[in-house]
Structure 1
Amino acid sequence: MNINTTLSDIKNRIYKPVYLLHGEEAYYIDLISDMLENSVLNEAQKGFDQTILYGKDTDFSTIVNASKRYPMMSDYQLILVKEAQALKWKSDDELFAKYIENPTPSTILVIAYKYGKFDKRTKLYKAIDKRGVVLESAKLYDDKVAPWIVDQLQQEGWRIHPQAAALMAEYLGTDLSKIANELEKLMLNVPKDSEISSADIERNIGISKDFNVFELNGALGKRDSLKAIQIVDYFAANPKSNPFVVVMGSLAGYFTKILKYHYLQDKSSQTVAKALGVHPFFTKEYDVAARNFNKRKTFDIINTLREYDLKSKGLNTGPNTTTADLMREMVFKILN
């Protein structure tokens, strides 16, 4: 079942007897678990009709026995099995499978199985899929984070500039829980009728709108030596906010996209955006960068990045060489 459909059903108090929430990304598992915990029962009812179990401290017998009980103060009882990946799972646990085949109608059983995929080949998985809801919360790829940010804000009625969304994605990575927390800050501090800008990101999240890996990529793409050096000097002065590994990852991704651009037959904005996994707003930037760095030079730059990645790990460097020294040297090689 679709995640948005499930969220909509829960808001409308349309419940299923069992929910299996699994996957490598914890965000949606927590979101749906919390939504059920906060909506099925009120505070007075929870003392009688809500049971929270933890995988490492429980077993299937306990879960089944709890699930077979009837509610005392509500139409439903809610059983939450948190950290369910710690249970001693068997491919066809008879006791649990038997319950799933004929669940108690007034029980809502939630199995929160985090940081991994539940085995879809098992009888138990198929039984849950038939009788209830199975949702996989998959990790988001890097190039999908910025669109996710845009979509999350749009659902709440806010707008964000593509450059601001890309800036957040570059610095916050793929941890959706962390990103969601930062989006909450933005929605509390930016008026709903205003488009969230890079300046808003700087004021509310603390990421510099002028001195960041996103701006470094742009400066290099334009061969703007002065701006690139200013940004690298800022990074050198603020190493904790701009770790070398983050800068390297961003540069590698950027020049890999430039190389892909060189091999595209159709260089229309929509085709480039789709092929590179970027917003159409940024396609002109790649056109400029590809004209400034031909195919051969782009290959050389990618090799240079590999070389300095190894140097940052201590290979072929002097004892007193700092990451700031390496970054300045690397940017000089890219631009010359």
Structure 2
Amino acid sequence: MEDVKRIVTDIRNGNFKPIYFLMGEEAYYIDQIADYIEGNALDESQRDFNQMILYGRDVSIDDIVGQSKRFPMMAERQVVIVKEAQDLSRTIEQLVSYAENPQPTTVLVICYKYKTLDKRKKLYKTLSKQGELFTSKKLYENQVPDWIRRVLKGRGYTIAPKAAQMLVEFIGTDLSKINNELEKLQLIVPVGTEISPEIIEENIGISKEFNNFELQKAIGERNIKKAYSIAQHFAQNPKNHPLVMTVALLYSFFNKLLKYHALPDPSAAPKVLGVNPYFIKDYQVAARNYPMKRVSAIIKGIRAVDMKSKGVGAHNMSQGDLLKELLITIFDH
């Protein structure tokens, strides 16, 4: 994110704001900025007396203000970092009096995860003028593989598109969790290596053969034997392969396939569908196997199975039976 780069560059150049209010759904960037300030705002010799880490569940706004109004000891500035500040959401507006007149020798960092301030209220407006108000937005699922690629490129690695997709399918869109797995790989894999599906399978425990991504691919190719083989594996390991995730992925796939059918210019598919160009060939193949009218019927069938998976008319059907029913719906034409 450009805002993250700008903030880090300013800090690196010694240009500090008196308050950094870091908020939003994506915790990863909040942690990255706070950690960078924690590690770079002061020399190591200055931190013992001039750097304080507080936690929202343990302090009040008065405690934070009191700490922030202190003067640094034998240093140009002091740093006060409040982690998990979302625990103070009921009283956070009380910070407005300090925000109006912050201590110039204090760098106050507020980590307000999974929440945002009300733009209509005074604290938001004051922080917009007096400090750095940063909102960390959640990435869409189709943006995460490219994020993985960029992070690894910055660390001297490349990654195969399928391997990146496997990580997203297995871990989801939580950037902190994905980053933890990438850091584990860095301890094992030499710099300069391309992260392949085999490396993911061997070191993270994600099967490159039995996962939702491979099921989607088998369905798109109308490889009935492979699709049922994967479904059988899922049925035997329901905790590792919850039906709700499979249904969501297939629903997304066929919705995108419907859009692909409607495209006047197929070359626009990556942008319109929000899909890496590497995977467009999967939609080209699926479009030949599933005409538009059939896709509409399949989407209706997926919705029906989704309702059954939530107990509506399912009569206690197992996840495995529901998935097999869904495959019958998809392949039945």
Could you tell me the TM-score, scaled by structure 2's length?
0.92
Aligned partner of 1:33 in structure 2 is: 34
Aligned partner of 1:251 in structure 2 is: 250
- Is contact 2:23-2:30 (8 Å) kept? yes
1:74 lines up with 2:75 in the alignment: yes
- Is contact 2:61-2:92 (8 Å) kept? no
Deviation at 1:12, TM superposition (A): 4.5
Separation in structure 2 between the aligned mates of residue 132 and residue 157 of structure 1, nearest angstrom: 34
Separation in structure 1 between the aligned mates of residue 92 and residue 133 of structure 2, nearest angstrom: 18
The residue correspondences of 1:176-255 to structure 2 (distance < 5 A) are 176-255=175-254
Aligned partner of 2:321 in structure 1 is: 325
Deviation at 1:170, TM superposition (A): 1.7
1:155 lines up with 2:193 in the alignment: no
1:120 lines up with 2:122 in the alignment: no
Aligned-partner residue type, residue 82 of structure 1: K
Separation in structure 1 between the aligned mates of residue 96 and residue 323 of structure 2, nearest angstrom: 57
Aligned partner of 2:24 in structure 1 is: 23
1:290 lines up with 2:291 in the alignment: no
Aligned partner of 1:89 in structure 2 is: 91
User: Do the aligned partners of residues 148 and 297 (structure 1) sit closer, same or farther apart at CA in structure 2, a change above 3 Å counting?
Assistant: same
Aligned-partner residue type, residue 290 of structure 2: F
Runs of 4+ aligned residues of structure 1 deviating over 6 Å after TM superposition are none
Aligned-partner residue type, residue 116 of structure 1: K
Aligned partner of 2:172 in structure 1 is: 173
- SS at the partner of 2:266? coil
Aligned partner of 1:261 in structure 2 is: 260
- Is contact 2:51-2:78 (8 Å) kept? yes
Aligned-partner residue type, residue 295 of structure 2: T
- SS at the partner of 1:191? coil
Aligned-partner residue type, residue 272 of structure 1: A
- What is the aligned residue count? 330
Separation in structure 2 between the aligned mates of residue 169 and residue 14 of structure 1, nearest angstrom: 36
Aligned partner of 1:306 in structure 2 is: 303
- SS at the partner of 1:2? helix
Does 251-260 or 155-164 show the bigger shift? 155-164
After superposition, the CA RMSD in angstroms is 2.0
The residue correspondences of 1:105-116 to structure 2 (distance < 5 A) are 105-116=104-115
Q: Could you give the per-residue CA deviations for residues 264-289 of structure 1, whole angstroms, max 9, x where no partner exists? A: 11111xx1001111101111110110
Deviation at 1:305, TM superposition (A): 0.9
User: Do the aligned partners of residues 39 and 164 (structure 1) sit closer, same or farther apart at CA in structure 2, a change above 3 Å counting?
Assistant: same
Separation in structure 2 between the aligned mates of residue 156 and residue 19 of structure 1, nearest angstrom: 27
Unaligned runs of 5+ in 2: none
User: Do the aligned partners of residues 169 and 71 (structure 1) sit closer, same or farther apart at CA in structure 2, a change above 3 Å counting?
Assistant: same
